[in-house]
Amino acid sequence: MRLLVVEDELRLARALQRGLTAEGYVVDLAADGPTGLETARHGEYDAVVLDIMLPGLSGYRIVQALREEGNWVPVLMLSAKDGEYDQADGLDAGADDYLTKPFSFVVLVARLRALLRRGAPERPAVLTAGSLRLDPATHRVTREGAEISLTAREYALLEYLMRRCDEVVTKTELLDHVWDVGADTDPNVVEVYVGYLRRKIDQPYGHKSLQTVRGAGYRLTCAGSTT
């Protein structure tokens, strides 16, 4: 089992590497956020031990980036005890488990074993575009914290656009991915549904996040709030 430990406190990182190596794991270290993300992206790790407060990029951003890329490597997050961040934030961001510093090494190993037994779940992370949030696990959509009720088709359209935010998505792509393949569908249906979505996710909040790109298709801004 190969582990990645992303931790900028060198003494703690070395101690974890020594201890986990003695437990039979292969352990790589990364000492800052950007290196941690790159290493996690390209290495085939069975689990990642991830500090939250890191130079360059926080542990939250790292786990979010990995989940957005469809990387479901099990992540155990470590945080300082000061309570600046809480457990819910870490788990929201896509971590699988959480330990508060200082922790006992025995507990860390037990938690890691549990994570490794479970393996990487195919679990989608919450998508965001500005104040717009979409949780693929629960199909819940909110804007500025307020719940938005969408039909199944509107939901599927929004999810596809959010996964490809800031890209121009053509009507044909939307028909292929959101409507049944081979269905005898009038392409104008896309425009109709884009209109429905705008009336739910944008207009009541004064946003214009879902844009028509004339002659090309549609684009949802990742910032989610262009006016």
Residues that bind Ca ion (CB under 5 A): 8, 51, 53
CB of 51 to Ca ion, least distance (A): 4
Q: Are strands 146-148 and 26-30 parallel, antiparallel or unpaired?
A: unpaired
CA 223 to chain centre: 15
CB 47 within 8 A of CB 73: yes
* DSSP letter (8 states) at residue 52: S
CB of 43 to Ca ion, least distance (A): 20
Smaller CB separation from Ca ion, 103 or 151: 103
Phi, psi at 87, each rounded to 5°? -55, -40
CB of 22 to Ca ion, least distance (A): 23
CB 223 within 8 A of CB 130: yes
Smaller CB separation from Ca ion, 55 or 195: 55
Smaller CB separation from Ca ion, 98 or 193: 98
Q: Helix 105-118 vs helix 10-22: angle between axes, to the nearest 10 degrees?
A: 60
- Token pair of 172 as six digits: 């044909």
CA 161-165-168 angle, to 5 degrees, is 80
CB 13 within 8 A of CB 44: no
Smaller CB separation from Ca ion, 51 or 96: 51
Long-range contacts of 132-137 (CB under 8 A, 24+ apart): 132/162, 132/201, 132/209, 132/224, 134/158, 134/159, 134/162
Smaller CB separation from Ca ion, 8 or 46: 8
Smaller CB separation from Ca ion, 12 or 222: 12
CB of 129 to Ca ion, least distance (A): 29
